[in-house]
Amino acid sequence: MPEGYLRQSPLASLGLAARAATAADAAGVTMGERERVMLVNLRGDGVDRGFLDRVRQALEVDLPAEPNTAAEGTRHRVLWLGPNEWLVVAGEGEQLAAALDAALAGLHVSVTDISDARAVIALSGAQARDVLAKGCPLDLHPRSFGPMRCAQSRLAKVAVLIDQRDDAPSYDLYVLRSQARYLWRWLDDAAREYAVRIIRP
Amino acid sequence: MLLITCPFCGPRDESEFACGGEAHIVRPADPAALTDAQWADYLFMRKNVKGVHFERWMHSHGCRRWFNAARDTVTHQFLAFYKMGEQAPDIAPVSYTARPAPRTDPALPADPALHTDREGAR
Amino acid sequence: MTGNFRLPSGGRIDRNRPLGFTFNGRLYRGFAGDSLASALLANGVTLVGRSFKYHRPRGIFASGAEEPNALVQLETGAHTVPNAKATQVELYEGLVARSQNCWPTVEHDFGQVADLCAKILPAGFYYKTFMWPSSFWMKYEYFIRRAAGLGRAPESPDPDRYDKMHVHCDVLVAGGGPAGLAAALAASRSGARVILADEQGEFGGSLLGRRDVIDDLPGAEWAARMAAEIAENPEVRVLRRATVFGYYDHNFLGIVERKTDHLGPNGGQGMVRERLWKVRAKQVVLATGSIERPLVFADNDRPGVMLADAARSYANRFGTRPGSRAVVFTNNDGAYGAAIDLADAGIPIAAIVDLRADVQGPLPTKARERGIEVLAGHAIAATLGSKRVQAVEVMLLNPEGDKVHGTPRRIECDLVAVSGGWSPTVHLFSQSGGKLRYCDQRLCFVPERSKQVERSAGACNGSFGLADCLDEGYAAGAAAAVAVGFEAPPRAFSADQPGETAPRALWVVPGKAPVGHSKAKHFVDLANDVTAADVRLAAREGYRSVEHTKRYTTLGMGPDQGKTSNVAGLAILAESLGKPIPEVGTTTFRPPYTPVTYGALAGSDVGDLSDVDRTTPIHDWHVMAAAEFEPVGQWLRARHYPKAGEDMEAAVQRECKAVRQSLGIMDASTLGKIELRGPDAVKLLNMVYTNAWDNLAVGRSRYGLMLGEDGMVFDDGVTTRLGENHYYMTTTTGGAAQVFGWIEEWLQCEWLDWRVWATSVTEQWATIALAGPRARDLMHELCKDIDLSPAAFPHMAMRSGRVAGLPARVFRVSFSGELGFEVSVPSSSGLALWIACMMAGAKYGIAPYGTEALHVLRAEKGFIIVGQEADGTATPIDLGMDWIVGKKKPDFLGKRSLARSDMVRRDRKQLVGLLTKDPNIVLPEGAQIVDRILPKPPMKMVGHVTSSYWSGALGRSIALALVSGGHKRHGQTVQLPLEDRVVEAVIGSPVFYDPEGKRLHA
């Protein structure tokens, strides 16, 4: 892991930290970049008990089997991406990919560090759902979607993984790093009518 | 805008999907053994069905899984969705009477209304 | 004629809020709650425009979306809106509008001469007249466009904001009249998620313009209360000024909501002007109402001729007198209700002229009791007046309805309130794929069979009575809710409706002279000036299909899309063909129901949001270095880095020179990158690449060509073996998504049992290419833990280590033909690595080079670019790359196609180098190659130039080309006919520079 000052988050050039509000201004939407999140893409046979057991031992959480759901462990959050694909999310500091790779050695799996491949934008507030609805065809109404639900879809003109964190509602949006600036611009524009406050999540 | 049911993610907007054309085209086991005509048949020839068409779709903006679907190309109604590797469901074909050849009698209407005749529809 | 035509009291206008507005340069006053049309009528302005073709004076004809005449140019400059229907424009302070189709003024219009020349402007006039000489069409068009009656589009950028919103619901109710409100009540009371949308600023629909009573409340009052109740429900979204304009597959509907238009161009500061709602509804209730039809009679277009229900609405809703003395002309009972309302508003009814000989129903009886003269079995045979109707001539109608007779009776009037019955607004139903049925009793098309999950209720279903509308609406709303698992309480409101007797079908009302044989015109379509005579002419000329007739006569093709004219036009065609109406069929209804702005369709996808621009982790450096960018796919790549005073050519030559003589650095982060893991990874590589992969050692790389099953090259790249069952594949920038998709498709659809996982890591790694004779010197400084000697780290090898302190994968590859390293580090560190290289490389004169220099360098080496040399029609053999095709491999994707007869033809276009005889001429890319020059085309083309550059290293121009049979033509001279000269060039090897590859392996 390189020294922190050598690393640039995908939205670093926007100077979001400096623009983050200090006072709790009234805002319909808060937005910020979630930095230094460890991400591992995990591929494996979702019906193989041996694989699932070994993952549980390593991550201390069951891989979500139900499509479009999340599972929360003590150190990790795991998002369903496909019937044999998951995203493991952890805080900074862990050698997550190497540790998981070692723990699953000998199995037909793929453990890939993609921490640098995604930007994570945290979007929250009473109007956050409306902001997403401007560009996303998913039904995010509380009757259809809620905390511990996640889904991959489109947002504006890019592919996005949406992870709902709470009832505020708060969402973590995972987007390709190269498309993060576009998506930020788009969100900023879409949220303008609701009053946006930039935060440091 | 179609509503397509991914076998994993459920009903999603068409804009999340990519259509891969006709389903159940199996790659020949030994291409070298085929004649040019046989290879061309595999490579180029596709059905252009008026009625139930089996086709494959990918949930490209979702779970990125390929799956198969049976779609009525006239009504856009989906009759089945099923995972890759699963057998195509037995769906009775819908027969649409072919559009009649242009009539020579100018007194007759040139543009007959679409006539559908469902045999054993669901 | 102007003056005060405002009624002393009544209407839903706010008389305490006067509003000033300008029409054709004159100031007028109206009130809040007025439409532009009602405000004009209240000021006595009845002449609002000139007709499309004949430039005849036209007035306000309707009161809603069906208006064919009163199209105005609203506002000016960037805010201007052409073809705004005055009936739909809500009045605001300072509104500015103009008539459109007139010059110099609407009162004195030069184009009126067209009316005098009507004989030469029949149906199909344009097709008949302007097709010869064909090259003149453009010139004719210039004048026709200017003479035709449409507004002008704004010429400056749209200053307003637009956006879109996806929304899902259990029940969508389209239309907020009595049926729609009842449906929305039922559905919302059930707890379902409901959307109620209405195109007007106020809910109520027909209730707003009539004097109906529901539950002892005035209809409009009831509507307001119900709308308020519905809106209170948190699961209901109520949209006003929102037109459901399109009904697409699988219950997907489009709604455009006009959020600020009623506030004027500057009233909605910062707000979104229009929002496009993209609705996916589980159930739809269509309650879109109905549109009154006019009667087709002689000179039925004069200002003052107006739909009866519109006249009534102007009196009841807007407190406006649409005239001072009215004649009502009808074929049905409904217009009697209008007549009574007009009489009650103080507008004397001179007579009701009814086409039916026997008039009995409850409404006619009521009218007679009021002392209104009813002329049964009569027809209006003529209208008099020019810019406003002054009188009508009424004559007896024969039982067959084809002649009028007796002495014409002249009745003075300035308003002719006309009703030819009602057409259900079946547009959305028809768009949804539903099948229509012609109803002989009600003389209209009604929904017959649904195709989608939808119910029509009320007037749009052919049920015109108020009680029926409430009944059907509530039932439809409740049924829709039940269908999605909710339960609606029973209905607890009701209304009365008078019984009605049948209307009379008479599609062309005879005039004094036979139709088309005098100056009198029987208009069917007012918007496009199509007359009954035009439709009959089309039938005589052989048109049978309504779709063809429509296009030939332009019937129903105006901005109003024939809302008041389609049924009459169809009936007249059927009559002329001697067929029943159902046999002629109806035209197709297509979205949108009313025009939708481009702004709403574009939404916020404009300006810097118009497309995604993907940027690399090093992008900010390129920007600061004043790089010129070019889009590659969606990526923004640095094309070159001009220094002060340099043009592109100079910058590219300098960058190339640095690479050839010292050191260049390039941001290659955009290359596609895929990790392959699993025991079958090598099997996969053997299938997707043309060459063999079995013996690639760990830590070594290999170049591969990827073919489609058709044998054509579609991507290339270098793949490295990272571990036992672990490979790292790179692709072209533009092909990354395609290659990843290609691999996934084969693994998921064909080779389901192969044990290999593919994961895209394009964005995980920032990649920097270092190229040039000093590349190793720089690497030595930055990297201490890898043995960089040529023996230990040869060309096409890969090592892991730390570069500039960053964890890196280092590859020895080269696309420039020079000694090259590609260093990949996690993307977050990409900028740090770049800066470290720039700082350490300064002593070697390190130069960043862009894609343009890269293209020159690789062309000097004869390396292909997918998309230029491999253009989708080239096989590896065509490209002279037989060496990479594994002949001994039993199979790979595309292999069989290489043996197809067409692929082994000797005259296939093959990749060659091309050197111009004059070394200073740089050929244009795409230039055609011929063997023999003829005085003029056509000449036999034998190939084309795919890449062409000035090569600084060689001191001359170079080009790559695909030439028929080119591999066997080295040394031959070909000709390239350019626009201004013919260039001679000699075919040769495509490798121009360092053909032995000594520099590469240095």
From chain B, the residues in CB contact with C896 under 8 A are 31-32, 34, 39
Query: How far, CA to CA in Å, does C240 sit from each of C39, C198, C746?
Result: 21, 5, 50
Q: Is B109 part of a structural domain of the chain? A: yes
The tokens 């079908």 sit on which residue? Answer: C505
Long-range CB contacts for residues C570-575, cutoff 8 Å, separation at least 24 = C570/C546, C571/C505, C571/C507, C572/C296, C572/C507, C572/C508, C572/C524, C572/C532, C572/C535, C572/C536, C573/C535, C573/C538, C573/C539, C573/C543, C573/C546, C573/C549, C575/C507, C575/C508
Do A30 and A124 belong to one domain? Answer: yes
- Give the DSSP letter of residue C739: H
State residue C120's pLDDT score.
Answer: 62
Distance between CA atoms of residues B85 and C745, nearest Å: 13
Whether the CB-CB separation of C337 and C210 falls below 8 Å is answered with: yes
Residue C130 burial (C-beta neighbours within 10 Å; 0-12, 13-18, 19+): middle
**Which residue of C165, C604, C678 is in closest CB contact with A133?**
C165
Q: Residue A143 — φ and ψ, nearest 5°?
A: -70, -20
Q: Is C873 part of a structural domain of the chain? A: no
Q: What's the number of domains chain A is made of?
A: 2
Whether the CB-CB separation of C945 and C926 falls below 8 Å is answered with: yes
Question: What residue numbers bound the domain in which B63 lies?
Answer: 3-117
**Which residue of A82, A137, A153 is in closest CB contact with B8?**
A82
Question: CB distance from A193 to chain C under 8 Å?
Answer: yes
Contact A116 C762 (CB under 8 A): no
Contact A153 B10 (CB under 8 A): no
The strand pairing partners of C666, in sequence order, are C769
Tokens representing C200? 């007007």
Do C406 and C541 belong to one domain? Answer: no
Question: CB distance from C164 to chain A under 8 Å?
Answer: yes
Q: Using CB atoms and an 8 Å cut-off, which of residues 78-117 of chain B contact chain C?
A: 84-85, 106-107, 109-111, 113
The strand pairing partners of C809, in sequence order, are C800, C824
Tokens representing C532? 């009954």
Contact B32 C897 (CB under 8 A): no
Q: Is C446 part of a structural domain of the chain? A: yes
Of the three residues A94, A113, A132, the one that is the final residue of a domain is A113
Do C277 and C325 belong to one domain? Answer: no
Chains that touch C (3 or more CB pairs under 8 A): A, B
Secondary structure percentages of chain A, helix, strand, coil, to 5? 25, 30, 40
DSSP C357-408: S---SHHHHHHHHTT--EEETEEEEEEE-SSS--EEEEEEE-TTSS-EEEEE
Do A82 and A180 belong to one domain? Answer: no
State residue B114's pLDDT score.
Answer: 34
| Smallest CA–CA distance from C676 into chain A, residue | A110
Whether the CB-CB separation of A95 and A38 falls below 8 Å is answered with: no
Do A139 and A186 belong to one domain? Answer: yes
Q: Is C880 part of a structural domain of the chain? A: no
Do C679 and C735 belong to one domain? Answer: yes
Single-letter amino acid code for the residue at A184: W
Contact C250 B26 (CB under 8 A): no
Q: Which of C671, C509, C615, C560 is nearest to C71 (CA)?
A: C560
Do C447 and C571 belong to one domain? Answer: no
Query: How far, CA to CA in Å, does C110 sit from each of C52, C104, C152, C248, C384?
Result: 13, 7, 19, 44, 22
| Smallest CA–CA distance from B10 into chain A, residue | A67
- Identify the H or E element spanning C977: strand C973-977
Contact A67 B8 (CB under 8 A): yes
Whether the CB-CB separation of C170 and C187 falls below 8 Å is answered with: yes
Question: What residue numbers bound the domain in which A59 lies?
Answer: 38-113
Residues in chain C, pLDDT under 50: 1
Whether the CB-CB separation of C251 and C452 falls below 8 Å is answered with: yes
Q: Residue C808 — φ and ψ, nearest 5°?
A: -140, 150
State residue C130's pLDDT score.
Answer: 58
Cβ-based neighbour number of residue C165 at 10 Å: 20
**Which residue of C271, C604, C762 is in closest CB contact with A189?**
C604
Largest CA distance in chain B: 57
What are the pLDDT digits (tens) for A158-187? 999 999 999 999 999 999 999 999 999 999
Radius of gyration of chain C (CA): 38
Do C277 and C308 belong to one domain? Answer: no
Do C133 and C200 belong to one domain? Answer: no
- Give the DSSP letter of residue C955: T
Q: Which of C516, C495, C573 is nearest to C540 (CA)?
A: C573
Question: CB distance from A114 to chain C under 8 Å?
Answer: yes
Distance between CA atoms of residues B31 and C896, nearest Å: 6
CATH number of the domain within which C933 lies: 2.40.30.110
Pairing relationship of beta strands C326-330 and C349-354 according to DSSP bridges: parallel
Q: Which residues of C690-718 are buried (b: 16+ CB within 10 A; e: fewer)?
A: bbbbeebeeeebbbbbbbebbbbbbbbbb
Query: How far, CA to CA in Å, does B18 sit from each of B6, B13, C366, C386, C761?
Result: 12, 11, 64, 60, 22
DSSP C266-313: TTTTTSEEEEEEEEEEEEEEE---EEEPPP--BTTTSTTEEEHHHHHH
Question: CB distance from A48 to chain C under 8 Å?
Answer: no
What are the pLDDT digits (tens) for C162-200? 999 999 999 999 999 999 999 999 999 999 999 999 999
- Which residues have CB under 8 Å from C800's CB, separation 6+? C786, C807, C808, C809, C810
From chain C, the residues in CB contact with B57 under 8 A are none
Do A172 and A187 belong to one domain? Answer: yes
State residue B94's pLDDT score.
Answer: 76
Do A126 and A149 belong to one domain? Answer: yes
State residue C303's pLDDT score.
Answer: 97
- Which residues have CB under 8 Å from A98's CB, separation 6+? none
What are the pLDDT digits (tens) for A58-77? 999 999 999 999 999 999 99
State yes or no: cis peptide before C348, omega within 30 of 0. Answer: no
Do A52 and A107 belong to one domain? Answer: yes
Q: Is C563 helix (H, G, I), strand (E, B) or coil?
A: coil
The strand pairing partners of C409, in sequence order, are C394
Q: What's the number of domains chain C is made of?
A: 7
State residue C266's pLDDT score.
Answer: 84
Do A104 and A135 belong to one domain? Answer: no
Q: Is C805 helix (H, G, I), strand (E, B) or coil?
A: coil
Of the three residues C155, C185, C202, the one that is the final residue of a domain is C155
Question: What residue numbers bound the domain in which C448 lies?
Answer: 161-290+424-483
Question: CB distance from A154 to chain B under 8 Å?
Answer: yes
Q: Residue C359 — φ and ψ, nearest 5°?
A: -120, 115
Tokens representing C835? 């800066």
Distance between CA atoms of residues C856 and B24, nearest Å: 45
Do A68 and A47 belong to one domain? Answer: yes
Å between A110 CA and nearest CA of chain B: 16
Tokens representing C807? 């964890």
Do A139 and A159 belong to one domain? Answer: yes
Q: Residue B44 — φ and ψ, nearest 5°?
A: -115, -30
Of the three residues A50, A83, A113, the one that is the final residue of a domain is A113
From chain A, the residues in CB contact with C168 under 8 A are 139, 141, 144
State residue A21's pLDDT score.
Answer: 77
Of the three residues A81, A113, A145, the one that is the final residue of a domain is A113
State residue B117's pLDDT score.
Answer: 35
CATH number of the domain within which A57 lies: 3.30.70.1520
Q: Is C958 part of a structural domain of the chain? A: yes
Whether the CB-CB separation of C383 and C359 falls below 8 Å is answered with: no
Q: Which of C937, C796, C951, C922 is nearest to C860 (CA)?
A: C951
Q: Is B122 part of a structural domain of the chain? A: no
Q: Which of C498, C151, C540, C477 is nearest to C338 (CA)?
A: C498
What are the pLDDT digits (tens) for C942-952? 999 999 999 99
Do A137 and A77 belong to one domain? Answer: no
Distance between CA atoms of residues C905 and C74, nearest Å: 65
CATH number of the domain within which A139 lies: 3.30.1360.120
Do C815 and C789 belong to one domain? Answer: yes
| Smallest CA–CA distance from C726 into chain A, residue | A110
Contact C585 B111 (CB under 8 A): yes
Q: Using CB atoms and an 8 Å cut-off, which of residues 72-101 of chain A contact chain B?
A: 81-83, 85
Distance between CA atoms of residues C141 and C114, nearest Å: 17
Secondary structure percentages of chain B, helix, strand, coil, to 5? 10, 30, 55
Whether the CB-CB separation of C133 and C123 falls below 8 Å is answered with: no
Q: Is B32 part of a structural domain of the chain? A: yes
Do C336 and C458 belong to one domain? Answer: no
Whether the CB-CB separation of C97 and C25 falls below 8 Å is answered with: no
| Smallest CA–CA distance from A149 into chain B, residue | B9
CATH number of the domain within which B10 lies: 3.30.2270.10
Which residues of chain B are at the A interface, by a Cβ-Cβ cutoff of 8 Å? 8-10, 12-13, 15-16, 61-65
Q: What's the number of domains chain B is made of?
A: 1
- Identify the H or E element spanning C987: strand C982-988
The strand pairing partners of C800, in sequence order, are C809
- Identify the H or E element spanning C17: strand C14-23
Cβ-based neighbour number of residue B116 at 10 Å: 14
Whether the CB-CB separation of C953 and C660 falls below 8 Å is answered with: yes
Do A107 and A130 belong to one domain? Answer: no
| Smallest CA–CA distance from C889 into chain B, residue | B32
- Identify the H or E element spanning C444: strand C444-449
The tokens 């009680």 sit on which residue? Answer: C467
Do C11 and C122 belong to one domain? Answer: yes
Contact A67 B12 (CB under 8 A): no
Q: Which of C493, C561, C503 is nearest to C216 (CA)?
A: C493
Tokens representing C546? 């309504």
Q: Is B52 part of a structural domain of the chain? A: yes
Whether the CB-CB separation of C293 and C567 falls below 8 Å is answered with: yes
- The angle subtended at Cα A123 by Cα A117 and Cα A125, nearest 5°, is 170
**Which residue of C166, C545, C896 is in closest CB contact with B34?**
C896
